[in-house]
Structure formats: structure tokens, C-alpha cells
Structure 1
Amino acid sequence: MKDAKWIYEDYEFDNRITNLMWTISGDYDENMDRGEKSFISENVALYHAVTAGGRRKFIDWTKVKKYVISRYRAGFDKDIVLGLISMGSDVVVEEKIIAERPGVYDIRKKAYDDIFANYYKLHTNNLMEKVEHAIILEKMGTSVMLDADTSRLKKALLALQHREDTVDFLKGIEAIYMDYFPLFVEADEDEKKDLRDKQNRLRGDFSDFMLEELYDDDPEESEIEASVEELADALLGESQGDMSNGSDGQSGTQILRVQEEDLEKIYEKVAYYYGSSFLPISEVKKLQNRVCQGEHGNCRIHMTDGVIRSDSRNEFQQKYVKRQQTKNVEVFRANFKICKRNVNKLKESMSRTLVQEEIMDAIPSDAGLLVANKLWRINRSSNHKVFVKNIDNNKGSFVVDILMDSSGSQRRNQSKVAIQSYIIAQALTLVGIPNRVLGFSSFLDYTVIKRFRDYESPLSANDNIFEYFCSGNNRDGLAIKATCEDLLKRREDNKILIVLSDGRPNDIKVGKGQVDDVREAYRGRVAIADTAREVRLARQLGIMVLGVFTGKEQDLMAEKLIYGKDFAYIKDINRFADLVIKYLKQIIAN
């Protein structure tokens, strides 16, 4: 690292490598990320600029990300898949660039000489490391003795240079994985058999991964997202500003082009991954006609009870959800005393604040019901109030909806969010207040709303909340709008919506074929403004909306923009009940 300083304090050289990347990629709107620049030597830095440009030109990284997520869910070892993609993308990009620009061969040779000089450990037992070294040596024209496994895998990866496009490249990666690596999962034999069957079925329908949900591009959100982003940072250097308007560069548009024939298959995939709809198709279409307008004009709705409690043949997804359910329950049990105390405290507070009160207070008044024994005050006292007026303390009946953000950005908080929702629902149910618990996330152009309990469900239904798991994106504005549709139909006098979210609405835009859509992507300021607008509309219609913030402090500003003063940021679970009732009182008073 000693030479890193002189390379990158030389602004003329820094501009040179950026211009080289632009020349190769043909896209002058892209910037070269620091993670793509080499600190080994000037030669390596120049060559990394070449490959950075090539990766932008020849590889569709949206497809790569979707592929990795899909195969991870199917039980593939993500580290091996990412390693193969890393080495394979170099092979594909290098050969295509050299075919277009033969002079790159000399740049590569000098870079490989410097890279090879920095190898300090050629004797390794790790197959992936041995193959990586072997590929470099092969391209340098150096012949060395290799064991059979290393030699075969090296040849298979080098053969990828003939792959024509990203999907063809990924097919090659999958063939290598299936041929060279066993199943890497911690599971019993039955689960391994299920995973093998699922992986074998993937061979017959490789395009299946194109219908997978996209995860939030934040390397801290979850293990799989972190791994995908680590690869993207290393090979592509993408970055995303949460508060940007989503209009800068290709990565900001988040437009996924889907062929018409694939669009027809999307509903089947939605039902397969999330469970069948509990509403008839006719009712769903009526709902879509009412709520999928404006910013959500190209969207659709899917209402489900989930893969465990609805008609679903997706055994793999059922086991996936059950594993997360077990984790949520384990965290709940580890904090059982605290949770029970919160339920009881919240129940008692709600009894005093929300439940109808029968007591009538009679207060002295200048008009009302005459009190005979106070007539003596007339002309004898300054207090002429000889009447009483009855004040009705009845606040009216209440109904509550709890809406949970179930997108991938919540993955690190899954158990926490499930427990918070359970505490609120349990207290409401014990008090006798009708309440419904829903979760929402996005799958391509569908906003999937999962129902954990309905208004009249028994107390035992609250256990369904622990089925909460996170994946995909989130279109908060549409989820809030769709939820309010049913809430407004309730007969109760007072309607409350509690939204547990991280203040980061973020969704892709699905385009049909090559048709352009002038609307900006649903992220950053666009998504925050839309969600805030739906919250205001709900309040104008008489729904009291409370936001419970479950994200990071850096996103608090977005939460404030969406919910105004009526949101709770609860860091300490011990104070959960106190803070929820405080904010409920606040929104009722307002």
C-alpha cells in the first residue's frame, strides 16, 4: 500500500484512468468507484480502468444480482457462486475488449506481471484461490503443474470467453457450479433432497431467476444483500444515494424490462412464492382499479395469507418461512418477560385511553338540568350556575390496522419488527379492540400484502405474526393506500393505522418491452413524497396514522417527512409500551 498515495494524488493520472474507462464503456455518465482502482501499481490501475469499462458495457448487473439471489434461495453456496462470477466476468470482459481493442493485450500483460509479483502465497488448498492463480498464469503464458480439479475448473472458466450475453454467461456459471460443487447447506437429508430437486428443476427453466425479486442495494441490510453488493462494489463500483431523486444514471432508474410473455407468468410466480390470494380475482381487480393510479399506474396488488396458511405447492418456500418463524419465536422467548410486561402495560393503558367509557360527568353550567337545591344562589352569590350539564366521556369505538414493511431492507430487524407488532396486536386483542395485522413487500410490479390476522380473528391468530419474513422491495404509498381501503369501510368511530417501517420506500419500475415511461423510479424523494401524500390523504379521510420507525438514524429525516410529528422511534424495548401509548394519545388529541 506504500505506492497508493503517489498514484491517487496525481490528478492527471486519475483523470487518465477515468477517461480510459469511459472510452471502453462508451458511457460518459458513469463514474469509476474507488473500489475499482488498484493500489498495486500504475499498470494494474490502468488495466482495472479497462475492465471497469468492459463490465459496464458487456454485463447486465441487474440480471447478475437477480440470478445470485435466486440461486441463494435455491440452496446454492453464495460465496462459490460469487467467486465463479468474479473470475468468469474477467474472462468474458477481457477477451471481448481485446477483440475490439488489441492494444489492451499489452496493458493486460504488464498488469499481470505486477499482480503476479504481489502473490505471496501460491501454495494454497483452497480450490477457488488455486484456480484464480492458475488463470492468471495461463494468460501470462506460464505453464505450471496443476492438480486435476484445478486444471478442469480453470478450463471450464476460460471457456466462458465465448459466451455472447449476460444470460448465456450465467448459464455457463450455473453449469460449472452444478458440475464441480456439492450442496453446501446445513440441513437434514430430507431438506437436502428437496434442495437438490429444486436445483435440478432450475436447469429446465433457467429464465426463472428473471422473475425473482430485487433486494435493496445496501451492503449492511442482510447477509445475501451484503454479498451481492460486495461483488458489485468490487466489480462495478455502483453506489446509491437514499435521498437522490432517482434520475441520475442507469442504476438510479431501476427499470426492469420484461417481455410480454414473461409478464403473463408473473402472477403464477407471485402465488408460488407468497401464497394464493384470499380474495377472488374479481375483487382484486376492483381494488387495483381504485388504488393503482397515478404514481402506481403500472402496479398490481396481491392479497395473501402466506405460503403456510394458503394453498401453496412451494415446499421450499414453506420451509424457508418456517425457519424464519422459528428464529422469530426464539428471540421472543428469550425476551418473554419483557414482552409480557409490555403487553400488560399497553393493555392497561389502552383500556383507559381507547375503550368506551360508560361514566357521565355532571358539571355546573349556566344551562342544562336545573338543580333545585342550588336555587338559593340567585341574587345571593356570584356563582349563578344552578344547572348541570352531563359530559359524555364516551370516545366511541376503535379499530386498528398494523402494517409492517416486509422488504429486504428490514431483514436485519425481522425478529424485532415481528415482536413489536405482536405486542401491539396482543394488547389490542386482549382489550377487545378489533385489529388487523398486515405485511407488505414488492415482487416485480406486484405489491404483495400478507395478512397475519384479521379483525375478528381469535387471540391465537396473533402467533401468525411470527411468520414475518423480509424480501424484495417496498412501495409504501401503494400499500398504505390499499390498506386504508378496507379500514375506511369499518363501522367503528375511530380508525387508527400503525405503520412499522424504516423510512426507505424503494421499488423498481417494470417496463413492457422497450416502451418508455416518463415517471421517475419509485425511490428517494419521489417515493418519500408519494408515501407522505398517502399518509396525509388517509388523515384527511379521518384515519389516525402513526409511524413506528424501525430503521437507522440516518433515515430519520425521511420518516419525519412522511409522518410529521406522529411517529415513534423506539430504541429500548423496555419502553416500547410507554412510547406507543404516548404517541397514540398524541394522534388522538390532534
Structure 2
Amino acid sequence: MKDAKWIYEDYEFDNRIANLMWTVSGDYDENMDSGEKSFISENVALYHAVTAGGRRKFVDWTKVKKYVISRYRAGFDKDIVLGLISMGSDVLVEEKIIAERPGVYDIRKKAYDDIFANYYKLHTENLLEKVEHAIILEKMDKSVMLDSETSKLKKDLLGLQNREDTVDFLKGIEDIYMEYFPLFVEEDGSDRKDSKDKQNSLRGDFSDFMLEELYEDDPEESEIEASVEELADALLGESQGEMSNVNKNEGNSRVLRVQEEDLGKIYEKVAYYYGNSFLPISEVRKLQNQVCQGEHGNCRIHMTDGVLRSDSKNEFQQKYVKRQQTKNIEVFRANFKVCKRNVNKLKESMSRTLVQEEIMDAIPSDAGQLVANKLWRINRSSNHKVFVKNIDNNKGSFVVDILMDSSGSQRRNQSRVAIQSYILAQALTLVGIPNRVLGFSSFLDYTVIKRFRDYESPLSTNDNIFEYYCSGNNRDGLAIKATCEDLLKRREENKILIVLSDGRPNDIKVGKGQVNDLKEAYRGRVAISDTAKEVRFARQQGILVLGVFTGKEQDLMAEKLIYGKDFAYIKDINRFADMVIKYLKQIIAN
């Protein structure tokens, strides 16, 4: 595509559209990915930035996912529902943004002019496609001949602009579906058929969808959830990017089938996107033989320092990481006083606790070391303890690993997670406790572990933590297992692992060709159970594991199942040091 390069190669323009998205959304913890950017023209790209910010501000995609799964169970056609949501969210977002920022109208007009210039002869009998074209044309004030059904559906979809929130918006989607599309219900022993008589009974109470469980094991419902995620990805730009020669297995939406000859090429892509490995291939294979077993039997490991600190020729990825690094640093500087206070508080508290633990307590005793100035007590006092005995409180030295979930689900928290890890590493380094900081995510069958600082790195190395960015999936169990392999080799008596995650381990599986050699996909109950097992195993080996929850309240139960009572839920960065101090004190004291 001739025009595809100028957006990516123009760093200033990339910043411009990112800033526009941030301004509209009001959330500087969000990213605008390549999937949201238009290659049609600068005008369209700018308008896409506006709508990208609006979708982050006005649409709750978790509620959308619950709604679609609920209606699928009731017999709704998922493709129609998703199509209506896609068009309806455009209407909802555009009008709300223009109401807040009237200047967006002019940006939209220029964008629609360029879009219209790319319209050719459109011939389709699909009602949703006809309506989509008609909505664009109406917003451009262009009259067009429409059949009555298309005209009426267009009018009803445009009416969604008055909906107040996501639930109200979904209610409007349901009303439109029930009016325009027959509800097909599959009954036992019969073909699919029209069943309008059952529509009302199948719908139930509209608010029931809010109670839907998102960790279902049913493959068909997993496919529905994946479809909604793909819709959100397309609209919010959270996709991993296009991968050639990779096909989804129809029976399991979280399983990828890859041709045998392509498996060897995957490593090249991993190194290209994430940076070359800092371990020699022999050590990587040794590590994989140790940890890639059982649930992780089809997986591989990639250990890297990232594209900025390893030999990488991926200039676009370097620019992308640098932009996120700059953004993380800007958020840190905006909260510098709070962060510095947290570092000092954490450092001083750990110093006091460790010094207290290392003090030799001398207590009066009937035996031990004689204290000459207490000899007068003999035959003169009922207290005959003229000796002291030294009690050693020293519990040994400490080493800490900080492991950050770097998957796409953490994008909303990127700067916050980076700052939390920085505070921890800075305080530990100042106290003199060896510590290592790692991030993990998944790319196809690889769990990528990025090293930000090593145990003996200088204080200045902590700045590397601001390179933290999120993409892909996350296989928490394997990341924890691989991290513990190195931690167990340390000479320190007390080994601590602090995991910052959102409680949603979620990964695909990669298989060769059509061979059915895969278990259940790594998600939901399967992934939570595996991660909890690895946490328990680490504790059995003497590693003290603390979870720091960085996700949403709806996933709090999963975090509890994984880490038990040893986890901290920190909503406010101002309380970060206090919460971590509390848990570290418990660990050190016990």
C-alpha cells in the first residue's frame, strides 16, 4: 500500500494523533495502536484518533462481552449482534464527542470527504452493509435512495446517539435486534427455525447479562468471547498485529495451527519484535527443558533486554518503546513528590526492619558471659542473674525478584505498574538488597521475559523500568516457573518474589499442522489453577511469593485463588509504600 508508510515514519504525526486520542479520552495510560490508524489520509487518521479516545471514554467492553455471551445463550445470532454493536458504538461515540468538543465536527467532515473519495460502486444485499454505507452518506449530508427497511434501521441506529451509558446503549441494540432480525432457536432434534413466539421468554430480564461468568469452559462460548475481544481490538487497537501463515483452529478460538516450516521462523519474529536473547542458545534450551513441561509442554522461552538494549534492527518497535518510555517518565515526573516519598518511606522502613532483625539482643541469664558490674548482687539481691546470653535475631540475607505482567490487558495500567516497580526496585537497591526486575508476555508459543535490571546492577539501571510496555498474552504459570529457576540459585537465605499482575492469565496454544496434540486453552480456570500451582510450588521450595494486584475488582477473586492471603490490592499510588511495607514486614518478621 503506497500510503501505509508515512504514518509510521512520521514520528511527529504519530505523536499528534496519540495526543489527540489522550485529550479526548482523558486517560494518559492508554495507547493508540496501529490497528486504529488509517492509511487513507491524514484527515481520516486524525479522526480515528478522536473516535479511539471516545471509545475508551464511553464504552465499557467488559459489559459488552457479558451481554453478547448472554444473548448467544438465548439464541441470538452473534454476527448480527456484533455488527450492530460495531455501527452503534460509532454513532454513540461520535455524537458524544462532538457534543463535548464542537470542533470535532470539522475534523469529521474532512475525514468523511476522504472516505467518500475512496468509495466505488457498492453492490450488496446485506442489510447491515447497506446501513453502514447509508450512515456515512447521511452524515455527509448526501441524499441517497434507500429501501424502506434500510432507511428505518439507519434511523434507529442513529438514534443511539442519545444513550447515556453502555448498559443503556446495549438496551437499544437489543431493541433494534428484536425488531429487525428473526431470533433463531435451535431446539433438540430439530433444525434451526424462526421462533418469534419464544423471544420474550428467552430474553429474560435485560439486566441479567451483568451476572454472566466470563471464565466459561464451553468452546463455543469461548469463541463468542474471543469475537467480542476481536471487535474491541479492531475498535481499540489492542491487536497483536498481522501474522502470516497462522490460522485459528475452528474448534478452539485460543489455539493456533502453524505449518511445520513456519515454526522455525517464529523465533526470528520474536527476536525482531522483542530484541535478541541475552542467553546463549544452549542455556535457553536447558531452561526450556526444565520449565516447559506439563501444561507448558508446547511452549518456549525467550530472555531479552528489549529492543533498546539489545541488537535490534526494528526501528519502528524502538520508536514505539521510546514513546511509551517517554510517557511513563512523564507520568512519573507528574507524580514525582509522591513517588519520592514512597521510595524514602519504603527504604527507611526496610532499613529499620532489617537492622532490627540483625541486632544481637543481650538478655540477663544464669549462665553465659559474666558481667562484672553485677557481681554485687550475689547474696545481696534476689536477682542472681549476673550473666548475659546473646540472642541472634539475624534471619540471613535477602534477595528479591520483581515480575511484571506485560500483557495487553495491562495497557490501561502501564505507567502505574512501571512506577510501582520502580519504587520497589529503587528502595531495595538503596537499602542494599540485591533485586532483579523482569516483565513477561507471550508471542505465539513463546513466553518473552524482558530483563530491566539484574541483581548486581547499579542504581541508575532502575531507569530501564520505564521501558515497560504491554502487548500480547500472558502465561503467568510459566513466567513464574522460569523466574524461580534463577532465584533458587541465589546464595541468599531469604528469597522473595513479588508479582505485579491483573489476575487474568490468558494465552493461546500453538500446534503443528492439524495434529490434535493440545489440551484445553490456557485461560480461565485452567490458567488460574496452573498459576496457583506454580505459586504453591515456589513457596514449597522456600521462595516467599507476594502478589501485587494491578487489575479490576471483577478479577479480584482470581488473584485470591492464585496468591492466597499474600497479596496486596493497591488502588492509590499514595498508599503503595504503606501496603508493601506491611507485607514485607510480615514476611521478614516471620
Which range, TM-score by smaller chain? 0.5 to 0.7
Give the superposed CA RMSD. 4.3
Q: For residues 550 and 254 of structure 1, what CA distance do their matches in structure 2 show?
A: 24
In structure 2, the CA distance between the partners of 1:117 and 1:403, relative to structure 1 (3 Å rule), is closer
Question: What's the secondary structure of 2:312's corresponding residue?
Answer: coil
1:222 touches 1:409 (CA, 8 Å); kept in 2?
no
Question: What's the secondary structure of 2:289's corresponding residue?
Answer: helix
Shift of 1:227: 3.3
Q: Which residue of 1 is the match for residue 236 of structure 2?
A: 227
Q: For residues 516 and 231 of structure 2, what CA distance do their matches in structure 1 show?
A: 33
Shift of 1:359: 3.4
1:302 touches 1:449 (CA, 8 Å); kept in 2?
yes
2:140 to 110, 125, 138: 125
Q: Which residue of 1 is the match for residue 9 of structure 2?
A: none
Q: Deviations over 1:449-501 (max 9, x none)?
A: 00001111111111110000000000011101111111111111211111100
Shift of 1:406: 0.1
Shift of 1:323: 0.6
Q: For residues 444 and 409 of structure 1, what CA distance do their matches in structure 2 show?
A: 16
Q: For residues 432 and 314 of structure 1, what CA distance do their matches in structure 2 show?
A: 36
Question: What's the secondary structure of 2:482's corresponding residue?
Answer: helix
What are the within-5 Å matches in structure 2 for residues 218-367 of structure 1? 224=233, 227=236, 254-354=254-354, 359-367=359-367
Q: Which residue of 2 is the match for residue 456 of structure 1?
A: 456
Question: What's the secondary structure of 1:462's corresponding residue?
Answer: helix
What are the within-5 Å matches in structure 2 for residues 307-456 of structure 1? 307-354=307-354, 359-371=359-371, 374=374, 383=383, 385-456=385-456
Shift of 1:571: 1.1
Shift of 1:336: 0.5
Q: For residues 482 and 426 of structure 2, what CA distance do their matches in structure 1 show?
A: 24
Question: What's the secondary structure of 2:349's corresponding residue?
Answer: helix
Question: Mean alpha-carbon deviation: is it higher for 528-537 or for 370-379?
Answer: 370-379
What are the within-5 Å matches in structure 2 for residues 178-189 of structure 1? none
Determine whether 1:519 maps to 2:534. Answer: no
Q: Which residue of 2 is the match for residue 205 of structure 1?
A: none
Q: Deviations over 1:288-346 (max 9, x none)?
A: 00111111111100000000110001001000111111110110010001001111111
Q: Which runs of 5+ in 1 are unaligned?
A: 1-30, 38-45, 56-78, 95-107, 138-215, 231-248
Q: Which amino acid aligns with 2:339?
A: C
Q: Which amino acid aligns with 1:443?
A: F
Question: Mean alpha-carbon deviation: is it higher for 486-495 or for 218-227?
Answer: 218-227
Q: Deviations over 1:184-208 (max 9, x none)?
A: xxxxxxxxxxxxxxxxxxxxxxxxx
In structure 2, the CA distance between the partners of 1:274 and 1:376, relative to structure 1 (3 Å rule), is same
In structure 2, the CA distance between the partners of 1:50 and 1:562, relative to structure 1 (3 Å rule), is closer
In structure 2, the CA distance between the partners of 1:532 and 1:131, relative to structure 1 (3 Å rule), is farther
In structure 2, the CA distance between the partners of 1:569 and 1:282, relative to structure 1 (3 Å rule), is same
1:400 touches 1:495 (CA, 8 Å); kept in 2?
yes
Q: For residues 262 and 556 of structure 1, what CA distance do their matches in structure 2 show?
A: 39
Q: Which runs of 5+ in 2 are unaligned?
A: 1-66, 84-110, 152-224, 240-248
Q: For residues 220 and 279 of structure 1, what CA distance do their matches in structure 2 show?
A: 35
Question: What's the secondary structure of 2:303's corresponding residue?
Answer: strand
In structure 2, the CA distance between the partners of 1:518 and 1:577, relative to structure 1 (3 Å rule), is same
Q: For residues 565 and 226 of structure 2, what CA distance do their matches in structure 1 show?
A: 29
1:327 touches 1:415 (CA, 8 Å); kept in 2?
yes
Q: For residues 346 and 230 of structure 2, what CA distance do their matches in structure 1 show?
A: 30
Shift of 1:388: 1.8
Q: For residues 91 and 389 of structure 1, what CA distance do their matches in structure 2 show?
A: 95
Q: Deviations over 1:542-584 (max 9, x none)?
A: 1111111100111111111111111111111111111111111
Q: For residues 112 and 271 of structure 1, what CA distance do their matches in structure 2 show?
A: 42
1:222 touches 1:412 (CA, 8 Å); kept in 2?
no
1:253 touches 1:520 (CA, 8 Å); kept in 2?
no
Q: Which amino acid aligns with 1:561?
A: L
In structure 2, the CA distance between the partners of 1:340 and 1:32, relative to structure 1 (3 Å rule), is closer
Determine whether 1:487 maps to 2:502. Answer: no
Q: For residues 260 and 436 of structure 2, what CA distance do their matches in structure 1 show?
A: 36
Q: Which residue of 1 is the match for residue 197 of structure 2?
A: none
Q: Which residue of 2 is the match for residue 140 of structure 1?
A: none
Question: Mean alpha-carbon deviation: is it higher for 253-262 or for 290-299?
Answer: 253-262
Q: Which residue of 2 is the match for residue 566 of structure 1?
A: 566
Shift of 1:586: 1.6
Q: Which amino acid aligns with 1:524?
A: G
Q: Which amino acid aligns with 1:567?
A: F
Determine whether 1:556 maps to 2:565. Answer: no
Shift of 1:36: 8.6
Q: Which amino acid aligns with 1:457?
A: S
Question: What's the secondary structure of 1:517's corresponding residue?
Answer: coil
Q: Which residue of 1 is the match for residue 477 of structure 2?
A: 477
Question: What's the secondary structure of 1:578's corresponding residue?
Answer: helix
Q: State the TM-score, normalized to the length of structure 1.
A: 0.61
Runs of 4+ in 1 over 3 A off after TM superposition: 31-37, 48-55, 115-124, 129-133, 216-230, 249-253, 354-359, 370-387
In structure 2, the CA distance between the partners of 1:49 and 1:503, relative to structure 1 (3 Å rule), is closer
Question: What's the secondary structure of 2:495's corresponding residue?
Answer: strand
2:68 touches 2:228 (CA, 8 Å); kept in 1?
no
Q: Which amino acid aligns with 2:578?
A: D
Shift of 1:366: 4.0
Shift of 1:260: 0.6
**Percent identity for Structure 1 against Structure 2:** 78
Shift of 1:374: 4.8
Question: What's the secondary structure of 1:354's corresponding residue?
Answer: helix
Q: Which amino acid aligns with 2:236?
A: S
Q: For residues 515 and 382 of structure 1, what CA distance do their matches in structure 2 show?
A: 85
Question: What's the secondary structure of 2:418's corresponding residue?
Answer: helix
2:361 touches 2:393 (CA, 8 Å); kept in 1?
yes
| Residue-pair matches, total | 410
In structure 2, the CA distance between the partners of 1:559 and 1:36, relative to structure 1 (3 Å rule), is closer
Q: For residues 301 and 416 of structure 2, what CA distance do their matches in structure 1 show?
A: 26
Q: For residues 486 and 126 of structure 1, what CA distance do their matches in structure 2 show?
A: 65
Q: Deviations over 1:233-287 (max 9, x none)?
A: xxxxxxxxxxxxxxxx968651111111111110000000000000000110000
1:221 touches 1:409 (CA, 8 Å); kept in 2?
no
Question: What's the secondary structure of 2:520's corresponding residue?
Answer: coil
Shift of 1:391: 1.3
Q: Which amino acid aligns with 2:425?
A: A
Shift of 1:370: 3.9
Q: For residues 561 and 230 of structure 2, what CA distance do their matches in structure 1 show?
A: 22
Shift of 1:538: 1.0
Q: For residues 373 and 267 of structure 2, what CA distance do their matches in structure 1 show?
A: 75
What are the within-5 Å matches in structure 2 for residues 49-60 of structure 1? 49=77
In structure 2, the CA distance between the partners of 1:408 and 1:372, relative to structure 1 (3 Å rule), is same
Q: For residues 551 and 238 of structure 2, what CA distance do their matches in structure 1 show?
A: 19
Shift of 1:531: 0.8
Q: Deviations over 1:212-251 (max 9, x none)?
A: xxxx959799984653699xxxxxxxxxxxxxxxxxx968
